[in-house]
Structure 1
C-alpha cells in the first residue's frame, strides 16, 4: 500500500464477487469504503473502516469524491489517526468545511499528543506551560496567564493541589489562564473551564497495582480536553471571556507525601478527611472549582478522568455527565449529539454530598473500600458539588471515561481520543438554552 492513499466513499459496491459486501474494498489499486444507504451506524462503520485502512500501512489518507460530508470525514479522521500520525488526513469539499475539519484535527492532534506524552516528558509545570503556549498562539494579544507553584500553593490556601503534589520532586501548580477578547478588565467571565491535570498517578499510599498504574500518564486527560476545547472555540470565533483553570500535580509516594487520615481545610471552610490517596482528582478539582467561583461566571465546566466507576457504567464508550442543573445538562447532551460525541448522564442529587462520610471532618474524599463502593462516580460528583456556587446552577461535570484507550480496538488507535473537546467547545460558542 502506498504511503499516501486516496479514499472514496461509495454506497454501491465496487466489486461484484464475494467481496461485494465488505466494508473496505480495494480495486485496481484504489481504496473504497462501502456504506449502503440503509446502514444504521454509518459514522461508526466509517471509523471502523478507517482503522482497517490505517493498519494497511497508509501514512496519509486523502479523502476524495462527492459523498463525503463533514460528519463522515470527521468519523474517518478519528478512526485513522493514531499516535504517530495525528493529523495525517486531507479533507475534501467546500472551503468552509475543510477549514472547520482542519481546525478540529489540529486541536485534537495537539490535545491527544499532550495526553500521550510520558510522565517524565510532562511534569506538572510543563503541562501548564504547554497549555499557555498553545492557547496564546491562537490569540496572542487576548490571553494572560498566572501560575502558582510549589510552596506558594499552600501559602495561598490551595490545599488540595498542594497536598496531592507535595510528595513529588516535580512541584504541583495551579494555572489560571484568561482569554479576554475585549481586553477590558471588567468584562464578565462567561465560563470557567476546570481540568484535572494529574500528570502521573501512582495512587499515593493507596498505591495502584502495576496494571492499574500503567496508563496513568493519561490522568491529565481532563486538562488536555478543556485546554483543547478553549483552543478550538477560539478558532471557531469565540467572543466571550473564558478562564481556563488547570489543577496540575503528580501523585507520588515519598516521606513528604500526603497520607490517609490527613484532614484538609479548603478555602470555603469545608474540611476533608483523606480516606483514599488514589481519589486525588476530586481533591485537586475542589481547588479549581473554588477559584472558578471567584470569577462569578455564568457557567463552570470541569473535566476529569475521575473514576473507574464511570468506566464500569459506560463501558468506556461514553463520557459521563453530571449536573445539578438539568436544563444545562440537557443542553450539553444535545450539543454532544450534534457533534457526535457519546455522552451519558448519570445520577447526581445534592444528597450525594453525604455519601462519603467522615467521623472527623465535614466529608471524606471517598470511602475506604475498593472503587469507593456503589455509586462511586456519583459520589465523586457529589463531593465536587460542595465546591461550586449557586447550589450547582450553571455547573457541568464531565467524567471522561472515554478519554483514553490503553490498547487499540475496532474504532480507536491506542492512546488519547480527544472526546469531549468538540462538545465543550460548542458549549462555549453557543447561546445558553432558555
Structure 2
C-alpha cells in the first residue's frame, strides 16, 4: 500500500535552496508556500505539480485547509486514470461535504471521459438515470424517449441531429419529487446537452478538432452531477432534468445543410451548419423544461468555441436575460471556488442568424459562426424558453481539458457541477 505524503499550506517563503519554487519537500511531507495573490489557483497548480512527480497519495494537514482550499487541491490532483487518493482534513461535516463533492464530480468526469463507443446516447441517458435513482430510490421517476418516438413528441431537434447514427438519439425526462405528490410544483428544470460524439456532421471537423468530441456531452454530465450533489446535500425541492442525447454522425440518412426543422413551438430553423448541432437539441430540452412551469430553468452545454476563446478554460461563460441571475450565478460560483463570467445577450442577438427560408438559421455560414458566436447561440436558445421563466445558460468552456495544463489534468474537469448544485439549492 502506498503511504501518503502530508501536504501543508504556509505563508512562509521556502528556504533559499528551493529557489523560486512554491513547493518544498521535507521527508514524508511537502509545503505549498502561498503568495497571497490567488490562493485557490496557486493551490490547484501546486497539486498538478505534486501529482506530476508521480505522487499518488496525499493527506492534507493543518488548519489552513478550509473546504475550498481542499477542493482546489483535489481538482488539480485528480486525473482521468484512477489509482490516486486524497485524505481530507477537518471534522466529519467538512469531510462529508467534500466526499459528496468528490463522488458527484467523479461521476460527471467518468461520463465525460468515457469512450464514444461505450457511451451511446441511450447509454448516457440510462447511466444518468441509474446513478440518480441510486441516490434517491423512492423519489425519482424517469422516462427515455428514443429513436422515432421522438417525432411523436415533436422533439425534432434531437431526432434530426441524431438520425445519422445507427444508435438512436434519446431524451431523458427525470423527475426528482421528494414529496411524492403529483401536484407539487417543479421549482427548477435542468437541461443538458448530451452529444456523445460530434463529428460535425457534413460540416465535418478536422481530425484534431474531432479528437476531444467525446466530451461534447459535458453539459449533460454537469447538470446530472449537480443534481446528484444537491440530492446528497439534502435537497427537498421538486426538480426535473432533461438530457438531450445524440451522436452527430455522417450517413445516408444524416441531416443536411439546407434542411429546415419545424419545432414544437412553431419556430422554423434552417440548418446552415451541421456542426452547430448543440443548440438544435437543446431547443427541444428547453421547450420541455418550459412546459413544466418551473420558475427557473438552467441549461448547460459545451456549446461554442467562441465562449472558449472569450473566457479560456478556467471560466464558464454564462448568459441570461435577467441581470439578477447573472449576479446570483457569480455569487454561487465564488462560494464554491468555481469561476463564471457573463457574456452579452440582447434581444437583437436573436436576429443575428437570419434565414431567407425560416424564422432563423442555426448559425451563420462563416467559420465558427462569425463574430459574437457565443451570444448568437445563446439568443437562439432564448427563442425556446418560456417568457415568464428566469433562465440561466452555461456555455461550459471549462468542462474539458484537451491536454494536461498547469491547472487541470487532461479530460473532464466537472467545473460547473458545484455552481449549478448551489443554484438548485
Q: Calculate the TM-score normalised by the size of structure 1.
A: 0.96
Inter-CA distance 215–180: structure 2 relative to 1 (3 Å threshold)? same
Work out which of the residue numbers 417, 424, 429 in structure 1 matches 2:420: 424
- Corresponding residue of 2:22: 23
Moved more, 58-67 or 394-403: 58-67
Asked whether 1:161 is paired with 2:155, we answer no
Provide the residue aligned with 2:322 in structure 1.
325
Question: Matched residue of 2:16: which SS?
Answer: coil
Match of 2:53 among 49, 52, 56: 56
Once the two structures are TM-superposed, the CA of residue 18 in structure 1 deviates from its matched residue by: 2.0
1:72-151 mapped onto 2 (5 Å cutoff):
72-85=69-82, 88-151=85-148
Shift of 1:415: 0.6
| Contact 2:226/2:418, CA 8 A, preserved across alignment | yes
**Helix, strand or coil: the match of 1:240?**
coil
C-alpha displacement at 1:169, in angstroms?
Answer: 0.8
What does the per-residue CA deviation read over 1:298-347, in whole Å, with 9 as the maximum and x for residues that have no partner? Answer: 10000000000001111222100000111122111111111121100000
Match status 1:341 vs 2:338:
yes
Aligned-residue offset at 1:11: 2.5
Alpha-carbon separation, structure 2, partners of 1:266 and 1:163: 11
* Equivalent in the alignment of 1:432: none
2:4 match:
4
The aligned runs of 1:211-250 (5 Å cut-off) are 211-250=208-247
Q: Which 4+ runs in 1 deviate beyond 6 A?
A: none
Contact residue 3 and residue 59 of structure 1 kept, 8 A: no
What secondary structure is seen at the aligned counterpart in 2 of 1:25?
strand
Given the alignment of the two structures, is residue 399 of structure 1 paired with residue 395 of structure 2, yes or no? yes
Distance of 2:283 and 2:324 partners within structure 1: 23
Q: Secondary structure at the match of 2:247?
A: strand
Query: Separation in 1 of the partners of 2:214 and 2:104?
Result: 20
2:353 to 352, 356, 365: 356
- 1:255 is matched with 252
Aligned residues: 425
Q: Quick one: distance in 1 between partners of 2:194 and 2:57? A: 32
Q: 2:56·2:83 contact (CA, 8 Å) conserved in 1?
A: no
Across the aligned residues of Structure 1 and Structure 2, the Cα RMSD in angstroms comes to 1.4
Q: 1:111 to 1:167 in 2, by over 3 A?
A: same
Q: Is 1:389 matched up with 2:412?
A: no
Give the conservation status (yes or no) of the 8 Å contact 2:56–2:84.
no
Alpha-carbon distance in 2 for matches of 1:59, 1:29: 13
CA distance in 1, matches of 2:193, 2:347: 22
Q: Identify the residue that residue 179 of structure 1 maps to in structure 2.
A: 176
Gaps of 5+ in 1: 430-434
Aligned with residue 266 of structure 2, among 260, 269, 279: 269
How far residue 413 of structure 1 moved from its aligned partner, in angstroms, is: 0.4
Aligned counterpart, 1:316: 313
Structure 2 unaligned runs (5+)? Answer: none
Change (3 A) 1:169 1:86: farther
Greater mean deviation of Cα atoms: 318-327 or 189-198: 318-327
- Partner Cα distance (1:408, 1:208) in 2: 22
Cα distance in 2 for partners of 1:254, 1:278 equals 15
Q: Contact (CA 8 Å) 2:40, 2:69: kept in 1 or not?
A: yes
SS at match of 2:157: helix
- Encode CA deviations 1:210-244: one digit per residue, 9 max, x unaligned: 11111000000000000000000011111100001
C-alpha contact 2:318 2:393 (8 A) present in aligned 1: yes
- Contact conserved, 1:87 with 1:105, CA < 8 A, in 2? no
